[in-house]
Homo-oligomer: A and B are copies of this chain.
C-alpha cells in the first residue's frame, strides 16, 4: 500500500523548485570544486551583512532573554508597538495614509500572501499573474483550491493590460503582480498600475465581488537609477501590498513579512480580521518574535544599495562584453537575459560546466531566458566573465 501523499502532492514529486534545485546542486558543486571556484547566481539569498542596527537589536534582545515572556505570545497581528512603527514607516514609503489596523506582521511575505489567499479565495477561484513569474505563486493558489493563470507580459516585461482584461473571468478573485519584478527586474509604472486598477474596478462591478490587486514587493528598496516604485494602495481600494524584511535587512531566514491593505478598502476591518485569522489557523500564529523585536532597532534601515548598483553595472558590462541579449534591470537583484540558442535548460547546463549557476527561464514559466541573481560579491561576477563568454561561444560553434 502506498499513498503517503495526496494525489496532488504525489504529482509534484520530483518537481521541486528549479531555484531550490540549483541552490542544492550548487552546494554539491562547491563541495567538489571548492566554494571559491563556483560562481553561484542561483538564489536570492542576500549576501550583504544586515545593517549594524540588526546586531545592536540582537544584543538588546539577548540582554532580556532571561526574562519571563521574553519570547512570549503577542496578539496574532503582531506587537501593537510594532504595528505602529510599521504603519508609520509605510505611510512614508507608500505616500499614503496607513494605520496600524491596516497592517499585519506575518511569517514572511510568502506567509502573508498565503494568509491573504486563504481568507479570500473560494475553491475554483482564479489568481491571475504575469508571465514570467515566481513559480511558487501557482502553489499558493493551489493550497486553497485556487487556480493560477499567468498572462504574458509585453516584450519589455511591462504589463499587458488589455491581455489581462481579456483573461479576467467571473472566477477571477486576485490579480497578483510583483514589482520590482523577480525575475525580470521590471518596475511597473504608475500609468500601468492606474490603467490596471481601472480594469479591475470595472470587472469587480461586473462580477459583483471585488477582484483584489495584490502587489508582492520585497524588492521595493532596490530600484536603480532613481526609478520610482509606485504604490498600489492609493490607486485601488481593493489592493494589498505584501512584503518582507528578508531582502532589505538581509534577514530571509527569520521569516518576517507583512501585509498592508488599502486604508480606503470597504469593510477593511472585516478583511483584516479574516487575514489575521488565516495567519493564525494556517499555523503561523504570529510573525517570529525576534524578528518583530528587531524592528524597534532596524525598521527603515537597509543594506547598502550602492553595492548592488555597482554589481549591476559590473554584471551588465560582463554580459554585454560576452554578447548576451538583455536589458539592465530597473530593480531587484536579477538579470534575465535571453538564453543563447534558445534552449534555456541546455544553456544553463553549459554554464554549469563553467561552474556558473543560473536558473532556466522555464523555472518562471518562460523558456528561452535564464536568471542570474547578483546578490554575490563583485569578484564572483568578474570571475564568471570568461565563463559567460565561453558558454556563449560554445553555443555559436555548435
Contacts and interface: CB of A to CB of B under 8 A. Distances in A.
B66 A255 contact: no
Nearest to A173: B6
Contacts of A7: 122
A258 interface: no
Contact of A281 (B24, B43, B71, B139): B139
A65 B71 contact: no
B66 A5 contact: no
A136 B250 contact: no
Given A58-B62, A288-B290, A4 B283 contact: no
A50 interface: yes
A251 B72 CA distance: 6
Contacts of A31: none
A264 B140 CA distance: 31
Interface in A222-280: 238, 250-255, 265-268, 270-271, 273-274, 277-278, 280
B145 A210 contact: no
A282 interface: yes
A363 interface: no
A296 B113 CA distance: 31
B13 A270 contact: yes
Contacts of A65: 50, 54-55, 58-59
A60 to B, nearest CB: 9
A140 to B, nearest CB: 7
A387 interface: no
Given A5-B119, A9-B119, A209-B3, A114 B277 contact: no
B253 A284 contact: no
A34 interface: no
Contacts of A150: none
A94 interface: no
A16 interface: yes
Interface string A110-139: 111111001111110000000000001001
A208 B4 CA distance: 11
Contacts of A142: 281
A72 B49 contact: no
A166 interface: no
10 contacts: A2-B266, A8-B122, A9-B118, A70-B250, A71-B251, A73-B252, A253-B292, A255-B286, A288-B288, A290-B290
Shortest beta-carbon contacts, A-B, top 6: A253-B289, A110-B283, A139-B281, A58-B62, A3-B209, A55-B65
